[in-house]
Amino acid sequence: MAFYVVQFLTGLASAASLFLVASGLSIIFGVTRIVNFAHGAFYMLGAYVAFTLTERYSGALGFWGGIVAAALAVAVIGVLVEMLLLRRIYHAPELFQLLATFGLTLMVEDLVVLIWGPDDLVGRRAPGFKGAIDFFGQNIPSYDLFLIALGPIVLGILWLLFQRTRWGILVRAATQDRDMVAALGVNQKWLFTSVFALGVFLAALGGALQIPRDAVNHAMDLRIIVEVFVVVVIGGLGSIIGAFVAAVLVSELNAFGILIFPKISIILVFLVMAVVLIVRPWGLFGKPEAPARRTPGLTVNPWRPLTTNERFAALAALLVAAALPVLNNPYLLTVGSEIAIFVIFAASLHFLMSVGGLASFGHAAYFGLGSYGVALLATKAGLPMIVCLVLGPIVGLLGAAVFGFFAVQLSGVYFAMLTLAFAQIVWSIAFQWVSVTGGDNGILSVWPANWAAGPAHFYWLSLGIAALAVVILRIIVFSPFGFALRATRDSPLRSEAIGINSKRIQWTAFVIAGTVAGVAGALFAYLKGSVFPDNMGISLSVDALVMVLLGGVETVSGAVIGAIVYKALNIWLVSQTDLSKLVLGGFVVLIVVAFPKGIVGTLEALLHRRRKSASSSASPLLASRIESAE
Amino acid sequence: MRGYFVGAGLAIAVAAMASSAMTTPAMAQSGEIKIGEINSYSLLPAFTEPYRKGWQLAVEEVNAAGGIGGKKLVVVSKDDGGKPADAQTAANELVSSEKVAMLAGTFLSNIGLAVSDFANQKKVFFLAAEPLTDAITWSKGNRYTFRLRPSNYMQAAMLVEEAAKLPARRWATIAPNYEYGQSAVAVFKKLMSEKRPDIQWVDEQWPPQGKIDAGPVVQAVAAANPEAILNVTFGADLVKLVREGNTRGLFKDRKVVSFLTGEPEYLDPLKDETPEGWIVTGYPWYAIKTPEHDAFLKAYQAKYNDYPRLGSIVGYQTIKAAAAILAKANSTDPEKLITAAEGISMPSPFGEITFRKIDHQSTLGAFTGRTALKDGKGIMVDSAYRKGADYLPGDAEIEKMRPKD
Amino acid sequence: MSMVPTLLSVESLTKSYGGVHAMRGVSFELRAGEILALIGPNGAGKSTCFNALNGQIIPDSGRVRLLGEEITGKKPRLIWRMGVGRTFQITATFPTMTVRENVQVALVSHGGELFNVWASTAKHARDEAGRLLDLVGMGAYAERPCGELAYGDLKRLELAIALANQPKLLLMDEPTAGMAPRERVELMRLTARIAREQAIGVLFTEHDMDVVFEHADRILVLNRGSLIAEGSPEEVRGNAQVRAIYLGEGLVYDARHREGASA
C-alpha cells in the first residue's frame, strides 16, 4: 500500500514540473493564439542559466535566488523575442508564428552548445531538499515533496492573478474573445507582451527547477515541448486548471502504467490525447472555440488557374530541371530527387492546410506509411519496384482514411494535435514492432530496380512524379471538389447552409493528401534504400509544415517553392557546417520577418500591389469596404 | 509569379548546390587520399566532440609520418544530425562528389546500419566506428562493412563474466526503449542465464530514450525488490536515474551492472553523485599504464590540453585503422581494401587489434571495473582490459548468423 | 390567400438554454409567396427560432414541417436540399473567392457535383451564376474578390447564393442590417418581387420597422420566447401589448431617424 502512495506522490512530482511549463504555454496560446514552438527552448534556457547562476553563487540564497533570477532573465529574453519578432507577425496567416518560434528553437539548440559546451551538466541539489523522507519503508525525495507543494501553489497564484487583478481579467477576456479586447481599447501590444513574458517565465522556472534532478543538456527542449503541447490540449487550450489536471493525469497514468506495461511511456501521452480528443473534442476543461472571425478585407486575392503564359513558363522551368543530368554530377541528382520528393510531400500537406484549412501536425504518418508499405512489399513480398510504387501509397491512403475520419471531426489546433497523436501512434508501432518493422534499425535494402537505379533515371522519375502530383493537386484545387473544400474552410456555416457535407469533403481531402504523401514516402524509401521510424517522426511533420508556411499558406502552390528552398538549404547547410541548425533557424527567422506571407505569398502581394497602382484610381468598392470594416 | 514552378525553383536550388559542389574539386587531387567521415556532431556533441579531436590527432600523426604511401591523408567530415536519411545524403555526397576512398564513422546503430547498407549497395568500403549493434557485423553484415568498437554482445559478455560471480539471483533491468537497449538486455539475459540458470528476472523497465521519468521507474524497480540491477541507460537518462536512485535508496545493498557507465563521457557528469561499486564497462584513462596508451595520452593532452574520452580513442583508432588498411592495400579500390582489411593487425592505444576475416569485427576490447568516488569525482577502480577476441562467439555460430555474400 | 397551400408549418417549438426559455410553444404557418416578418426585441428568441427552422439547432419539442414533410432536427444541409435557402445576420460568404465563384459553389452543390475532382469549376454553371447575380443587382461585381465587398453587397450576394437551389422557402435573418436606407428598400423590393414571381415563401427578421411594415404581408411578434401577436401590419401596429413592449425597449415604430443604428 505504501508503495502505491509513494508511486502516486512520485507521479505528482513529475506532474508539477510538467504543469509549470504547460501552464505557460496555455496562457500564451489562449491570449495570442501563438503556437509557441520555442516554449521548450525557453525551458531549456531556464535550466542552463540557472545552472550557471547556482554554480556561481553558493548557499541557499545562491540556489533559490539563482533559480528565480534565471527564470526572470529568460523572461526578459522572451520579452525581447516578442517585441522584436512576434509583434511583426501577429497579422500574418495563422500558424506563421509557429514558423518563427520553430526557427528560434533551432537557433537556441546550437547556441546552448556554443555557450555551455557539449557535455551534460549536472547541477547542485537544492539546499534543504537533498535527502528523502521515509514513508513506511519507502523513500520519498524531499525535493519531490517540494515540487508537489509547488504545483498547487503556482496554480493558486495564477488563479488569483486571473481572477483578482485587472490584468488577469483582461487576459481572460482576451482568451475568450480577442477581437473584443481590441475593441475595448486595451493596449493589446502590452497585454500580449506581458502574457508572453509570464508564459516564458513559467517555462524557464520549470526548466530551472529541474537542476537538482536532471542533467542540463541541449536536447531538453525537444524532450518536453511535445509532451507539454499534449498536456495543454488534453486539459483544454487556455485553461490553467485543465493544464494542471492533464499534467496530473498524464503523470499518474505513466507512473502506474509502467508497472503493467513497462514500454508504455513512449506512447502513453499520445494515446491519452487521442482518446480525450475523440471523446471530448475541446479537451477536458476547454470550451468549444468560436469560429475565428475573418476580418473583412484582410483576405487574399481569389485564386485563379495559371494563364497560358504562366503555363509555358512552368513547363520551361520543368524542362530546365529535367536537363540537370547534363551536369553529370550524381550527387546533385540525388539531391534533386530528394527535393522533388519533398515537393510532393509539401504539396500534399499544402493541399490539406491551404485548401482545406486543416493544418496537420502529423502529416509524416502518411509519408511514413507509404515508405513502410513499399519497404515491406519489396523485402517481405519481393514485389517489383513498379508494383510497390503503386501499392505503397495505398497504405498511406488507408491510414489517412482511418485517422482522417476521426481527425476531421475536429478543427484548428485540436485537429492538429489529433493528427500529431495519430502520427506518434503509428511511429511507435514502427518503433516497437521490431519483428515486422525492424524497430529503430529500420528496414534495409529497398533499392530501386535497375531501370530506375541510375541517379539520372531516379531523378527523372521523381521529378516526373512531382510535376504530375503538383499538376493533379492543382486541378483538384480548381475542380468543384476543390471549391467545396475551400468553402468548408472559408465558412463552415455557409457551406453547411448550401448543402455541403463538410466532414465528408474534408475527409476526402485528408485521404487525397495522405495518399499523395504516401507517394512521396514510397519514392523516398527507394531513394534512400531503407526506411526508419524517422520517416514518420515529428521532425518530418514539422519540416513539412515549415515548407508550406515558408512558401506561403495562402497561395495555390507556394509549398513547391517552400519545399525547394527549405530542403535545398537544409541539405547544403548540413553538409557545410555542424551549426546547420543555427544558420537554418536564423534564416527561417529572417524569412519570417522579410516575407510575412511566405516567399510566394509576399511576392504575389508585391506584384498585386504594383498592378493595382498601375491601374490608377482606387476602386469605390475599396472605399466603401473601409467604411464597413467596423 | 504565383504557381508551381517546380522546375524553376528546382533548377535554381540545384544550381546553387552545383556551384558549391564545384568549388570543392570533385576529383581528389593527386597526392591526396580522402576519407569520408560521418557522425552525429550536432545531435550528440558530448560524445562526438572528443571523437573528432581523436581523429584529428590521428590525421596529424599519419601525415607527420609521411602520409599514406607518400600521399596526404584528408578527412572530409559531415554531420548527419542523428538522422539515417541525412547520413545517406552525406554518404552520397562523400562518395559521388568528394570521391572519397572509403567511408568511416557513425555513432547511432540505425545510422551505422543505413550507411552500411549504402556501402554495400554502392560497393564502397565502410569502417563503422561506434555503432554497437550486433546486426552490423552479424545478421545484417556485408562484405563492405567493418566495425571497430566492441559490440553490444562483447560488452555484455565482459560484464556477464563479472556479474555471474555475484550471489544475486533476483535481477531487474532498466534499459532505453530502442534497439540498443533491447538487444543489450537480450544478450545479457541470454549469456547470464547460460552461466547461472538459477537467476530470476523479476522486473524490466523500458523508459523512452532521453525521456526517462526517473522517479516512477526507480520506484517500480524497487518494488520488485531485486538483488541486482542491470542498467543500460546512459547520458542524461543515466544522470536522472542515478540521482533518483540515490535519493530513494534504490542502489543501497544492491549490486548494479551497467553498460558504458565507466566511460568518461557518462561518468564525469555524475560528479560527487557517482554511485559506488557498480560493475561497468568504460575507459579509465587515468589508470592505464601501457606504453601505447601513454604515447596516445601524452599526444592528446599536448594537443588539446584536455583528457581523452572513450570517443577520443574511437575517433583516433578509426583513422589509424583506415590509414593502416589504405597503406596495406596500396590502392583505393574497394575490393583491394577489403582484402587488405580482412585479418589486418595493427597497434592501438589499447594494444594490438585485428579486424577479423570472419565477421569484420575488430578485436578492440574494453575495460571493466567498478565505479568509485575520488575527490568528488567518479572514477573506475579495479579496472582490467578485456581483449575483444575473448568475448566473441564461436565461428560456427557467426557463420549461421551472417548472410553469405 | 387561403387558396395558396401551406408551405411551412411550425407547431409549438420550445427551446431552453439552461433555465432560460428561448422559445416557448411558438406556432405559425407560412404560405408560398407570402412574406412573413418575425419581430421582437433583442433576446426575444428570433434567432433561436430561425436556427430551429433550418436545422442549426434542434428544438426541445415541437415540429417543423415543410410542405407537409417533417424537417425537425434534420441537418441544415439536408433542409437546404429540400428547398430552404437562408441568409445570415452576420453575413457568411466565402471571402477568398470571387463573387461569381461564391454563387457557383452553391450551384455545384445544387447540381450534385461536390465530389467531382476533375472538372473546371470556372466553367460550371457560369451563366446561371451570372443570371442570379444580375437578379440581385450584383452582375457588375461578378469578378470581384468577395472579401472586398461592402456589407450591403455581401447581403445581396447572400441572397443570390440562397436562391441558387431554387428554394421554396427563404429564411432571411436581418437582411438589411448595415445597409443604407435606399439599399434597404431596394433589397426588400427585389426580395418581394422574386417571392411573388417564383412563389417563394419568405420569413425574415428585422430591426428596421419601416422595412417590416412596408414589405411584410404578415407580422409575427415574439417576446421572451412566446408569440404575443400575429397579423397584418395594421393589426400589429394597433396591438397595445406590442406597443408596450417596444416602448419599454425605448424603441419607436418610426425608425426613419435611426439610420444605420443596427450595424
Q: Chain C contact for A622, CB < 8 A?
A: yes
Position A378 in a domain: yes
Q: Determine the pLDDT at residue A629.
A: 31
Position B320 in a domain: yes
Find the CATH number of the domain harbouring A374: 1.10.3470
More confident residue, B274 or A30: B274
Domain match, A21 and A140 both = yes
Domain match, A325 and A206 both = no
Q: Determine the pLDDT at residue A510.
A: 97
C-alpha cell at C50: 430561425
In this prediction, residues A438-448 reach a mean pLDDT of 91
Chains with 3 or more CB pairs under 8 A to chain A: B, C
Nearest beta carbon to residue C92 from set A305, A491, A627: A491
Report the gap between the CA of A354 and the closest CA in chain C (Å).
11
In this prediction, residues A29-33 reach a mean pLDDT of 83
Strand, coil or helix: A141: strand
In this prediction, what percent of chain A has a pLDDT beyond 90? Answer: 59
C-alpha cell at A180: 473584443
Q: Which residues contact A472 (CB under 8 A, 6 or more apart)?
A: none
Q: With a cut of 90, say whether residue A302 has pLDDT above it.
A: no
User: How many other β-carbons are positioned within 10 Å of the β-carbon of residue C258?
Assistant: 14
Q: Chain C contact for A490, CB < 8 A?
A: yes
Position A234 in a domain: no
Residue C140: exposed, middle, or buried by beta-carbon count in 10 A (0-12, 13-18, 19+)? exposed
In this prediction, residues A508-512 reach a mean pLDDT of 97
DSSP state of A165: S
In this prediction, residues A5-32 reach a mean pLDDT of 91
Q: Determine the pLDDT at residue C261.
A: 36
In this prediction, what percent of chain A has a pLDDT beyond 70? Answer: 93
Position B183 in a domain: yes
Q: Determine the pLDDT at residue A298.
A: 41
Domain match, B139 and B162 both = no
pLDDT values of chain B reduced to their tens digit, one per residue, 405 residues: 334 444 555 555 555 555 444 444 433 456 899 999 999 998 888 889 999 999 999 999 999 999 998 999 999 999 998 999 999 999 999 999 999 999 999 999 999 999 999 999 999 999 999 999 999 999 999 999 999 999 999 999 999 999 999 999 999 999 999 889 999 999 999 999 999 999 999 999 999 988 899 999 999 999 999 999 999 999 999 999 999 999 999 999 999 999 999 999 999 999 999 999 999 999 999 999 999 999 999 999 999 999 999 999 999 999 999 999 999 999 999 999 999 999 999 999 999 999 999 999 999 999 999 999 999 999 999 999 999 999 999 999 999 999 876
Domain C6-83+167-248 belongs to what topology? Answer: Rossmann fold (3.40.50)
Position A244 in a domain: no
Nearest beta carbon to residue B3 from set A306, A442, A577: A306
Three-state SS string over A277-295 comes to HHHCCCCCCCCCCCCCCCC
Q: Determine the pLDDT at residue A617.
A: 42
Q: Determine the pLDDT at residue A139.
A: 86
Q: Determine the pLDDT at residue B278.
A: 97
Helix A330-350 to helix B6-23 angle, to the nearest 10 degrees?
A: 150
What are the chain C neighbours of A305 within 8 Å (beta carbons)?
Answer: 120, 122
Chain B residues 296-335 with a CB less than 8 Å from chain A = none
Residue pLDDT, tens place only, A147-189: 999 999 999 999 999 889 988 888 888 777 766 666 666 677 8
Most confidently predicted of A128-142, A198-212, A595-609: A198-212
User: How many other β-carbons are positioned within 10 Å of the β-carbon of residue C9?
Assistant: 17
Which ipTM did the prediction report?
A: 0.89
CA angle A262/A267/A269 to nearest 5° reads: 110
- Give backbone dihedrals phi and psi of A440, rounded to 5 degrees, phi first: -75, -15
Position A286 in a domain: no
Q: Determine the pLDDT at residue A297.
A: 36
Q: How is A110-134 classified by DSSP, letter by letter?
A: HHHHHHH-SS-B--PPPTT-SSEEE
Q: Are A423 and A363 in contact (CB under 8 A)?
A: yes
Residue pLDDT, tens place only, C241-256: 888 877 555 444 444 4
Interface test with C, best of A299, A472, A494 (most C CBs within 10 A): A494
Chain A residues 102-131 with a CB less than 8 Å from chain B = 110, 113, 118-122, 130-131
More confident residue, C49 or A301: C49
Position B131 in a domain: yes
Would you say how long chain A is, in residues?
630
Residue pLDDT, tens place only, C108-139: 999 999 999 988 888 888 999 999 999 988 99
In this prediction, residues A424-430 reach a mean pLDDT of 92
Q: With a cut of 50, say whether residue A296 has pLDDT above it.
A: no
* Average pLDDT in chain A: 89
In this prediction, residues A51-75 reach a mean pLDDT of 94
Coarse DSSP helix, strand, coil percentages of chain C, rounded to the nearest 5 percent: 35, 25, 40
Given an 8 Å threshold on Cβ–Cβ distance, is C150 in contact with A627?
Answer: yes
Tell which residue, A24, A462, A431, A354, has the closest CA to residue A201. A24
C-alpha cell at C193: 418581387
Find the CATH number of the domain harbouring B205: 3.40.50.2300
Domain match, B168 and B134 both = no
C-alpha cell at B65: 609520418
Domain match, B229 and B377 both = yes
Tell which residue, A188, A187, A487, A513, has the closest CA to residue A344. A513
Nearest beta carbon to residue A491 from set C94, C119, C165: C94
Position B252 in a domain: yes
Position A250 in a domain: no
> Can you tell me which residue has the cell 481572477?
A163
Q: With a cut of 90, say whether residue A346 has pLDDT above it.
A: yes
What are the chain A neighbours of B9 within 8 Å (beta carbons)?
Answer: 317, 560-561, 564-565
Domain match, B41 and B109 both = yes
In this prediction, what percent of chain C has a pLDDT beyond 90? Answer: 43
Domain match, A326 and A196 both = no
Q: Determine the pLDDT at residue A30.
A: 83
Domain match, B361 and B371 both = no
Number of domains chain A contains:
2
Cα–Cα distance for residue pair C218/B49, rounded to 1 Å: 86
Q: Exposure pattern of A287-317 as b/e (b: 16+ CB <10 Å)?
A: eebeeeeeebeebbbbbeebeeebeebbeeb
Longest dimension (CA), chain A: 85
Position B399 in a domain: no
Domain that holds residue A368: 321-611
Residue A351: exposed, middle, or buried by beta-carbon count in 10 A (0-12, 13-18, 19+)? buried
Residue pLDDT, tens place only, C132-159: 999 988 999 999 999 888 888 899 999 9
Domain that holds residue B216: 153-287+366-391
What are the chain C neighbours of A505 within 8 Å (beta carbons)?
Answer: 114-115
Position B162 in a domain: yes
Position A316 in a domain: no
Strands, E, within B176-320: which ranges? 200-205, 228-231, 255-262, 279-282
Q: Determine the pLDDT at residue A538.
A: 87
Cα–Cα distance for residue pair C119/B151, rounded to 1 Å: 60
Cα–Cα distance for residue pair A322/A336, rounded to 1 Å: 10
C-alpha cell at B379: 572514477
Cα–Cα distance for residue pair A226/A210, rounded to 1 Å: 17
Tell which residue, A560, A559, A546, A555, has the closest CA to residue A603. A555
Q: With a cut of 60, say whether residue A514 has pLDDT above it.
A: yes
What are the chain C neighbours of A297 within 8 Å (beta carbons)?
Answer: 147-148
Interface test with A, best of C78, C88, C93, C94 (most A CBs within 10 A): C94
Cα–Cα distance for residue pair C3/C199, rounded to 1 Å: 13
Confidence class for position A630, pLDDT limits 50, 70, 90: very low
Cα–Cα distance for residue pair B226/B222, rounded to 1 Å: 7
- Give bridge partners of residue B172 from the DSSP assignment: B203, B229
Nearest beta carbon to residue C77 from set A496, A619, A628: A496
Q: Which residues contact C169 (CB under 8 A, 6 or more apart)?
A: C7, C8, C30, C66, C83, C84, C85, C200, C201, C202, C203
Q: Chain C contact for A620, CB < 8 A?
A: no
pTM over 0.80: yes
Q: Determine the pLDDT at residue A62.
A: 92
Coarse DSSP helix, strand, coil percentages of chain A, rounded to the nearest 5 percent: 75, 0, 25
Q: Determine the pLDDT at residue A184.
A: 67
Q: Determine the pLDDT at residue C47.
A: 86
